[in-house]
Structure 1
């Protein structure tokens, strides 16, 4: 038997490409998340070289005055935008794409996901004000006893809560798909995205709790200290 006599293997099913084409509105919605994420990554990354030069004894921060007044203000902006904003917006945007394309259907409650996105945007803008006015130079970990302006904490909570709201939209969409497809396995890419959203919500519970119960009340003077 020659090689030409061997029957060709059937082409494996491409589960990701189920034939569903995103609408223009869906593409713009996903792209909105990615644009904000990349903008945050770009701006935040600009401070990386400045930090390297600072360690080399070359201070470029003076050239940015009065917008950026110190090394630690730049370091805080760098950390918040790259470690928190970039990751959150990109993850939510990519998961939106994974759920829609993986399940081959639109979001079951798109308004919920839109509310989640705009909640995150409002949170980002709220956080940006104290960052740029040098009243939240607490690094991206924002550990006490470093204290930031209350708007910084409110903004971070809104970003986190917005991602939770988007997660709710993912759960409802997967639930609707399972209701319409009893007995079928959930597409892996969509299921993985939903599981990731659940893990994210669990992981950020502590962040929201610490801000709402300690840091935010402390920053507005309701409590004198954060150490119970």
Structure 2
């Protein structure tokens, strides 16, 4: 009998933001696949969970996924966690999930924190329809094509962005979309959490004189 693959959501900053079910699942599975043992190790140590860790990330996913699948086929249960939030969203989790499904292995989610949902709910922008773009391509024609599509997007737009590309992305959005309402959600649930409700023009001006720090969710209103 095959084991089960559990997709376990973990805190996006505050270690207290994890469900009882998630902790119990991590304690009982035979294997925990994680992006970075150093990051996940802090969470597991906090809840007294020892061992079980195996690295599964973007560089090694094609090598690690078959090893995890083999153990699942052997009857062991495994959990997939990401550095922060829900596995499979802007991380390599999709490949393992698809592989498990193709092998007839049961996949269950243990839901919990998500920076995407947190940022949306506090943004003050319309929530009834939205589109999640994750990380835009860093440069070149692929990036330009995505920007061109967003020009006509009527739904609220949600992006993830790194500190070193934030200003470039804000400038590109301002040039392509014009000055729309926008929200920056930074370092969510952490000590220096910040929610900036503004517009693209003001956010460009802010980060032209201020170095971005932390992890960012960027939300932009859709075309009227």
Taking structure 2 as the reference length, the TM-score comes to: 0.21
Higher helix fraction (1 or 2):
1
With normalisation by structure 1, the TM-score equals: 0.21
More strand by share: 2
